[in-house]
Amino acid sequence: MTTDAATAVAHPNIALIKYWGKRDEEWMIPAVDSLSLTLDVFPTTTTVRLAPAGQPDRVLLDGRPAEGEIEKRVLVFLDMLRARTGRREAAVVDTRNTVPTGAGLASSASGFAALAAAGAAAFGLDAGPAALSRLARRGSVSAARSIFGGWAICHAGSGSGAEADLGSFAEPIAAPDFDPALVIVVLNAGPKAVSSRAGMRRTTETSPLYRAWADAGRADLAEMRTALARADLDQVGEIAERNALGMHATMLAARPAVRYLSAATLTVLDAVLALRAAGTSAYATMDAGPNVKILCSRTDAALVADEMRAAAPGCRVLTAHRGPGVRLEAVR
Protein backbone atom coordinates (compact mmCIF):
# COMPACT_ATOMS: atom_id res chain seq x y z
CA MET A 1 0.00 0.00 0.00
CA THR A 2 1.24 3.46 -0.90
CA THR A 3 1.46 6.12 1.79
CA ASP A 4 1.43 9.23 -0.40
CA ALA A 5 -0.57 11.87 1.44
CA ALA A 6 -0.67 15.64 1.77
CA THR A 7 -2.56 18.23 3.79
CA ALA A 8 -3.30 21.76 2.60
CA VAL A 9 -5.00 24.78 4.18
CA ALA A 10 -6.76 27.46 2.11
CA HIS A 11 -8.92 30.48 2.88
CA PRO A 12 -11.98 31.80 1.05
CA ASN A 13 -11.86 34.97 -1.01
CA ILE A 14 -14.45 37.64 -1.69
CA ALA A 15 -14.59 39.12 -5.18
CA LEU A 16 -14.87 42.90 -5.52
CA ILE A 17 -15.14 42.46 -9.29
CA LYS A 18 -17.36 39.41 -9.63
CA TYR A 19 -17.12 36.29 -11.72
CA TRP A 20 -20.58 35.20 -12.86
CA GLY A 21 -20.99 33.01 -15.94
CA LYS A 22 -18.80 30.52 -17.79
CA ARG A 23 -17.55 30.58 -21.34
CA ASP A 24 -16.90 26.83 -21.25
CA GLU A 25 -18.47 24.65 -18.56
CA GLU A 26 -16.44 21.52 -19.33
CA TRP A 27 -13.13 23.33 -18.89
CA MET A 28 -14.47 25.69 -16.23
CA ILE A 29 -13.51 28.85 -18.09
CA PRO A 30 -15.05 32.06 -16.67
CA ALA A 31 -16.76 34.46 -19.06
CA VAL A 32 -15.33 37.50 -17.25
CA ASP A 33 -12.20 38.54 -15.36
CA SER A 34 -12.58 38.88 -11.59
CA LEU A 35 -10.65 40.44 -8.71
CA SER A 36 -10.74 39.40 -5.07
CA LEU A 37 -9.34 39.58 -1.56
CA THR A 38 -8.36 36.33 0.15
CA LEU A 39 -9.46 36.45 3.79
CA ASP A 40 -7.98 35.44 7.14
CA VAL A 41 -11.15 33.68 8.35
CA PHE A 42 -12.97 30.39 7.62
CA PRO A 43 -10.03 28.19 6.53
CA THR A 44 -10.58 24.81 4.89
CA THR A 45 -8.14 21.98 5.70
CA THR A 46 -7.99 19.08 3.25
CA THR A 47 -5.98 15.87 3.37
CA VAL A 48 -5.63 13.69 0.29
CA ARG A 49 -4.40 10.17 0.99
CA LEU A 50 -3.71 7.75 -1.85
CA ALA A 51 -5.12 4.23 -1.66
CA PRO A 52 -4.45 1.17 -3.84
CA ALA A 53 -5.77 1.35 -7.43
CA GLY A 54 -9.12 -0.31 -7.84
CA GLN A 55 -10.50 0.80 -4.49
CA PRO A 56 -13.32 3.35 -4.66
CA ASP A 57 -12.46 6.99 -3.96
CA ARG A 58 -13.87 8.29 -0.68
CA VAL A 59 -14.84 11.87 0.09
CA LEU A 60 -15.38 13.01 3.67
CA LEU A 61 -16.76 16.44 4.52
CA ASP A 62 -16.42 17.38 8.17
CA GLY A 63 -16.01 13.70 9.07
CA ARG A 64 -19.08 12.44 7.18
CA PRO A 65 -19.33 10.99 3.66
CA ALA A 66 -20.01 13.81 1.18
CA GLU A 67 -23.09 13.40 -0.97
CA GLY A 68 -24.69 14.62 -4.18
CA GLU A 69 -23.14 17.45 -6.16
CA ILE A 70 -20.22 18.01 -3.76
CA GLU A 71 -19.09 14.38 -3.87
CA LYS A 72 -19.50 14.31 -7.67
CA ARG A 73 -17.37 17.42 -8.17
CA VAL A 74 -14.56 16.04 -5.99
CA LEU A 75 -14.62 12.69 -7.83
CA VAL A 76 -14.40 14.48 -11.20
CA PHE A 77 -11.44 16.44 -9.84
CA LEU A 78 -9.66 13.24 -8.73
CA ASP A 79 -10.20 11.73 -12.20
CA MET A 80 -8.59 14.83 -13.68
CA LEU A 81 -5.57 14.51 -11.34
CA ARG A 82 -5.12 10.86 -12.37
CA ALA A 83 -5.42 11.77 -16.04
CA ARG A 84 -2.77 14.49 -15.62
CA THR A 85 -0.30 12.36 -13.71
CA GLY A 86 -0.90 8.98 -15.34
CA ARG A 87 -1.34 7.47 -11.88
CA ARG A 88 -4.10 5.02 -11.07
CA GLU A 89 -4.37 5.08 -7.28
CA ALA A 90 -7.65 5.78 -5.55
CA ALA A 91 -7.84 8.61 -3.01
CA VAL A 92 -9.45 9.42 0.31
CA VAL A 93 -10.26 13.13 0.55
CA ASP A 94 -10.87 14.41 4.08
CA THR A 95 -12.06 18.04 4.17
CA ARG A 96 -12.76 20.17 7.24
CA ASN A 97 -14.56 23.44 6.62
CA THR A 98 -14.85 26.16 9.23
CA VAL A 99 -17.27 28.01 6.98
CA PRO A 100 -20.86 26.85 6.37
CA THR A 101 -20.78 24.84 3.11
CA GLY A 102 -22.69 26.23 0.12
CA ALA A 103 -24.04 29.35 1.86
CA GLY A 104 -22.47 31.96 -0.40
CA LEU A 105 -19.48 32.32 1.93
CA ALA A 106 -17.00 30.99 -0.60
CA SER A 107 -16.65 27.42 0.74
CA SER A 108 -15.99 26.11 -2.78
CA ALA A 109 -13.14 28.62 -3.21
CA SER A 110 -11.26 27.52 -0.10
CA GLY A 111 -12.35 23.90 -0.66
CA PHE A 112 -11.04 23.45 -4.18
CA ALA A 113 -7.91 25.54 -3.52
CA ALA A 114 -7.03 23.19 -0.64
CA LEU A 115 -7.96 20.11 -2.70
CA ALA A 116 -5.84 21.27 -5.65
CA ALA A 117 -2.76 21.82 -3.45
CA ALA A 118 -3.15 18.62 -1.41
CA GLY A 119 -4.15 16.57 -4.46
CA ALA A 120 -1.24 17.82 -6.57
CA ALA A 121 1.20 17.04 -3.75
CA ALA A 122 -0.24 13.58 -3.03
CA PHE A 123 -0.27 12.55 -6.72
CA GLY A 124 3.21 14.01 -7.27
CA LEU A 125 2.18 16.76 -9.71
CA ASP A 126 4.82 19.46 -9.74
CA ALA A 127 2.77 22.64 -10.13
CA GLY A 128 3.94 26.23 -9.63
CA PRO A 129 1.46 28.87 -8.42
CA ALA A 130 -0.08 29.65 -11.86
CA ALA A 131 -0.44 25.95 -12.70
CA LEU A 132 -1.95 25.28 -9.27
CA SER A 133 -4.39 28.15 -9.82
CA ARG A 134 -5.41 26.66 -13.19
CA LEU A 135 -5.88 23.30 -11.53
CA ALA A 136 -8.04 24.78 -8.73
CA ARG A 137 -10.13 26.55 -11.38
CA ARG A 138 -11.16 23.16 -12.78
CA GLY A 139 -12.85 22.48 -9.42
CA SER A 140 -14.42 25.91 -8.95
CA VAL A 141 -13.49 29.10 -10.77
CA SER A 142 -13.36 31.19 -7.58
CA ALA A 143 -10.85 28.67 -6.12
CA ALA A 144 -8.24 29.82 -8.65
CA ARG A 145 -8.00 33.08 -6.66
CA SER A 146 -7.64 31.44 -3.22
CA ILE A 147 -4.27 29.98 -4.24
CA PHE A 148 -2.91 33.46 -3.51
CA GLY A 149 -3.05 35.58 -0.38
CA GLY A 150 -4.39 39.13 -0.44
CA TRP A 151 -5.48 40.68 -3.72
CA ALA A 152 -5.71 38.49 -6.82
CA ILE A 153 -7.01 38.83 -10.34
CA CYS A 154 -8.40 35.87 -12.28
CA HIS A 155 -8.06 36.10 -16.05
CA ALA A 156 -10.85 34.79 -18.25
CA GLY A 157 -8.32 34.31 -21.07
CA SER A 158 -9.43 33.75 -24.63
CA GLY A 159 -10.36 30.96 -27.00
CA SER A 160 -11.89 27.67 -25.94
CA GLY A 161 -10.94 24.24 -24.63
CA ALA A 162 -7.26 23.55 -23.93
CA GLU A 163 -6.18 26.95 -25.27
CA ALA A 164 -8.55 28.74 -22.91
CA ASP A 165 -7.31 26.54 -20.05
CA LEU A 166 -3.79 27.88 -20.46
CA GLY A 167 -4.93 31.51 -20.35
CA SER A 168 -7.35 31.33 -17.44
CA PHE A 169 -5.66 31.50 -14.02
CA ALA A 170 -5.27 33.90 -11.13
CA GLU A 171 -2.24 35.89 -10.07
CA PRO A 172 -1.55 38.19 -7.16
CA ILE A 173 -1.84 41.97 -7.43
CA ALA A 174 0.43 44.17 -5.38
CA ALA A 175 -1.52 46.68 -3.29
CA PRO A 176 0.83 47.00 -0.33
CA ASP A 177 -0.77 50.14 1.08
CA PHE A 178 -4.33 48.93 0.97
CA ASP A 179 -5.24 46.77 3.95
CA PRO A 180 -8.94 47.36 4.75
CA ALA A 181 -11.42 45.36 6.83
CA LEU A 182 -14.31 43.28 5.55
CA VAL A 183 -17.23 43.04 7.98
CA ILE A 184 -19.21 39.88 7.22
CA VAL A 185 -22.89 39.81 8.15
CA VAL A 186 -24.08 36.19 8.18
CA LEU A 187 -27.84 36.39 7.70
CA ASN A 188 -28.36 32.78 6.70
CA ALA A 189 -25.72 30.07 6.92
CA GLY A 190 -27.91 27.38 5.33
CA PRO A 191 -27.18 25.97 1.86
CA LYS A 192 -28.58 28.00 -1.02
CA ALA A 193 -31.64 26.86 -2.95
CA VAL A 194 -30.00 27.41 -6.36
CA SER A 195 -26.32 26.46 -6.76
CA SER A 196 -23.96 29.08 -8.21
CA ARG A 197 -23.42 26.79 -11.16
CA ALA A 198 -27.13 26.52 -11.99
CA GLY A 199 -27.77 30.20 -11.19
CA MET A 200 -25.03 31.48 -13.46
CA ARG A 201 -26.00 29.12 -16.27
CA ARG A 202 -29.59 30.40 -16.18
CA THR A 203 -28.37 34.01 -16.02
CA THR A 204 -26.06 33.75 -19.03
CA GLU A 205 -28.65 31.84 -21.05
CA THR A 206 -31.73 33.98 -20.33
CA SER A 207 -30.90 37.37 -18.78
CA PRO A 208 -31.09 40.28 -21.25
CA LEU A 209 -28.92 42.29 -18.82
CA TYR A 210 -26.01 39.84 -18.67
CA ARG A 211 -24.02 41.13 -21.65
CA ALA A 212 -24.32 44.75 -20.50
CA TRP A 213 -23.02 43.86 -17.02
CA ALA A 214 -20.12 41.81 -18.42
CA ASP A 215 -19.14 44.71 -20.70
CA ALA A 216 -19.35 47.23 -17.84
CA GLY A 217 -17.21 44.87 -15.77
CA ARG A 218 -14.20 45.42 -18.05
CA ALA A 219 -14.23 49.14 -17.25
CA ASP A 220 -14.91 48.35 -13.56
CA LEU A 221 -11.81 46.15 -13.47
CA ALA A 222 -9.53 48.74 -15.04
CA GLU A 223 -10.75 51.44 -12.65
CA MET A 224 -10.50 49.06 -9.71
CA ARG A 225 -6.84 48.34 -10.41
CA THR A 226 -6.07 52.05 -10.40
CA ALA A 227 -8.07 52.59 -7.19
CA LEU A 228 -6.30 49.66 -5.49
CA ALA A 229 -2.89 50.98 -6.45
CA ARG A 230 -3.86 54.33 -4.94
CA ALA A 231 -5.32 52.65 -1.84
CA ASP A 232 -8.45 54.72 -2.42
CA LEU A 233 -11.07 53.07 -0.19
CA ASP A 234 -14.03 55.12 -1.46
CA GLN A 235 -13.19 54.45 -5.09
CA VAL A 236 -12.59 50.73 -4.48
CA GLY A 237 -15.83 50.52 -2.49
CA GLU A 238 -17.95 52.34 -5.06
CA ILE A 239 -16.74 50.16 -7.90
CA ALA A 240 -17.18 46.97 -5.86
CA GLU A 241 -20.71 47.89 -4.80
CA ARG A 242 -21.90 48.78 -8.30
CA ASN A 243 -20.30 45.67 -9.79
CA ALA A 244 -22.05 43.43 -7.21
CA LEU A 245 -25.44 45.13 -7.52
CA GLY A 246 -25.14 44.89 -11.30
CA MET A 247 -24.45 41.16 -11.04
CA HIS A 248 -27.57 40.69 -8.90
CA ALA A 249 -29.56 42.77 -11.42
CA THR A 250 -28.56 40.31 -14.18
CA MET A 251 -29.88 37.47 -12.02
CA LEU A 252 -33.14 39.25 -11.21
CA ALA A 253 -33.70 39.69 -14.95
CA ALA A 254 -33.10 35.97 -15.67
CA ARG A 255 -36.09 33.88 -16.68
CA PRO A 256 -37.16 32.72 -14.19
CA ALA A 257 -35.39 35.11 -11.83
CA VAL A 258 -32.45 33.95 -9.71
CA ARG A 259 -32.65 35.78 -6.41
CA TYR A 260 -30.15 35.30 -3.59
CA LEU A 261 -30.84 38.59 -1.81
CA SER A 262 -33.42 38.45 0.99
CA ALA A 263 -35.44 41.08 2.85
CA ALA A 264 -32.76 41.01 5.56
CA THR A 265 -30.09 41.69 2.92
CA LEU A 266 -31.91 44.88 1.90
CA THR A 267 -32.24 45.93 5.54
CA VAL A 268 -28.47 45.60 5.93
CA LEU A 269 -27.90 47.50 2.67
CA ASP A 270 -30.06 50.34 4.05
CA ALA A 271 -27.89 50.38 7.17
CA VAL A 272 -24.77 50.64 4.99
CA LEU A 273 -26.29 53.58 3.12
CA ALA A 274 -27.19 55.25 6.43
CA LEU A 275 -23.59 54.83 7.63
CA ARG A 276 -22.31 56.44 4.44
CA ALA A 277 -24.78 59.30 4.73
CA ALA A 278 -23.39 59.85 8.23
CA GLY A 279 -19.83 60.05 6.88
CA THR A 280 -18.41 56.54 7.32
CA SER A 281 -16.83 54.93 4.26
CA ALA A 282 -18.60 51.56 4.07
CA TYR A 283 -19.51 49.65 0.90
CA ALA A 284 -21.39 46.39 0.43
CA THR A 285 -20.89 43.33 -1.75
CA MET A 286 -23.03 40.18 -1.95
CA ASP A 287 -22.39 36.81 -3.56
CA ALA A 288 -24.59 33.80 -4.30
CA GLY A 289 -26.44 34.09 -0.99
CA PRO A 290 -28.15 36.65 1.26
CA ASN A 291 -25.05 37.44 3.36
CA VAL A 292 -23.46 40.88 3.11
CA LYS A 293 -19.75 41.73 3.19
CA ILE A 294 -18.92 45.33 4.01
CA LEU A 295 -15.66 46.94 2.97
CA CYS A 296 -14.42 49.65 5.35
CA SER A 297 -11.24 50.86 7.03
CA ARG A 298 -9.75 48.87 9.90
CA THR A 299 -10.44 51.85 12.16
CA ASP A 300 -14.15 51.88 11.32
CA ALA A 301 -14.66 48.10 11.46
CA ALA A 302 -15.94 47.96 15.07
CA LEU A 303 -18.43 50.76 14.43
CA VAL A 304 -19.64 49.15 11.21
CA ALA A 305 -20.03 45.77 12.94
CA ASP A 306 -22.04 47.36 15.78
CA GLU A 307 -24.35 49.12 13.32
CA MET A 308 -24.94 45.86 11.46
CA ARG A 309 -25.73 43.99 14.71
CA ALA A 310 -28.29 46.68 15.45
CA ALA A 311 -29.76 46.48 11.91
CA ALA A 312 -30.00 42.67 11.90
CA PRO A 313 -30.38 41.53 15.51
CA GLY A 314 -29.32 37.97 16.24
CA CYS A 315 -27.17 37.55 13.13
CA ARG A 316 -23.49 36.65 13.29
CA VAL A 317 -21.15 39.52 12.43
CA LEU A 318 -17.40 39.06 12.14
CA THR A 319 -14.52 41.08 10.78
CA ALA A 320 -12.02 39.68 8.28
CA HIS A 321 -8.80 41.06 6.85
CA ARG A 322 -6.30 40.18 4.15
CA GLY A 323 -5.36 36.51 4.55
CA PRO A 324 -2.73 34.05 3.29
CA GLY A 325 -2.55 31.91 0.15
CA VAL A 326 -2.82 28.13 0.16
CA ARG A 327 -0.07 26.20 1.98
CA LEU A 328 0.91 22.62 2.62
CA GLU A 329 1.09 21.49 6.22
CA ALA A 330 2.22 18.40 8.08
CA VAL A 331 -0.12 15.56 7.12
CA ARG A 332 -3.05 15.23 9.54
Binding site for ligand 2P0 (CB under 6 A): 15, 18-20, 34, 108, 140-142, 196-197, 287-288
The answer to whether the CB of 282 falls within 8 A of the CB of 268 is no
**From the CB of 173, what's the least distance to ligand 2P0, in Å?**
15
Distance CA 74, CA 115 (A): 8
Closest to ligand 2P0 by CB, 6 vs 170, is 170
**From the CB of 225, what's the least distance to ligand 2P0, in Å?**
16
Closest to ligand 2P0 by CB, 74 vs 275, is 74
**Phi and psi for 77 in degrees, rounded to 5?**
-65, -40
**From the CB of 193, what's the least distance to ligand 2P0, in Å?**
15
The answer to whether the CB of 17 falls within 8 A of the CB of 34 is yes
**From the CB of 119, what's the least distance to ligand 2P0, in Å?**
16
Closest to ligand 2P0 by CB, 275 vs 292, is 292
**From the CB of 170, what's the least distance to ligand 2P0, in Å?**
11
Report CA-CA distances (Å) from 107 to 139, 143, 286: 12, 9, 15
Closest to ligand 2P0 by CB, 38 vs 140, is 140
Burial, 37: exposed, middle or buried (Cβ in 10 Å; 0-12, 13-18, 19+)? Answer: buried
Closest to ligand 2P0 by CB, 5 vs 288, is 288
User: Any alpha helices (H) in 207-232, and if so which ranges?
Assistant: 210-229
**From the CB of 22, what's the least distance to ligand 2P0, in Å?**
7
The DSSP string of 15-73 is: EEE----EEETTTTEESS-EEEEEBSSS-EEEEEEEE-TTSPPEEEETTEE--HHHHHH
Buried b / exposed e along 43-60 (16+ C-beta atoms within 10 A): bbbbbbbbbeeeeebbbb
**From the CB of 20, what's the least distance to ligand 2P0, in Å?**
6
**From the CB of 34, what's the least distance to ligand 2P0, in Å?**
5
The answer to whether the CB of 97 falls within 8 A of the CB of 61 is yes
Distance CA 294, CA 275 (A): 11
Closest C-alpha to 159, from 34, 35, 31, 33: 31
Closest to ligand 2P0 by CB, 39 vs 317, is 39
Distance CA 89, CA 77 (A): 14
Distance CA 264, CA 243 (A): 20
Closest to ligand 2P0 by CB, 244 vs 301, is 244
Closest to ligand 2P0 by CB, 20 vs 210, is 20
Closest to ligand 2P0 by CB, 104 vs 300, is 104
**From the CB of 221, what's the least distance to ligand 2P0, in Å?**
12
Distance CA 292, CA 187 (A): 8
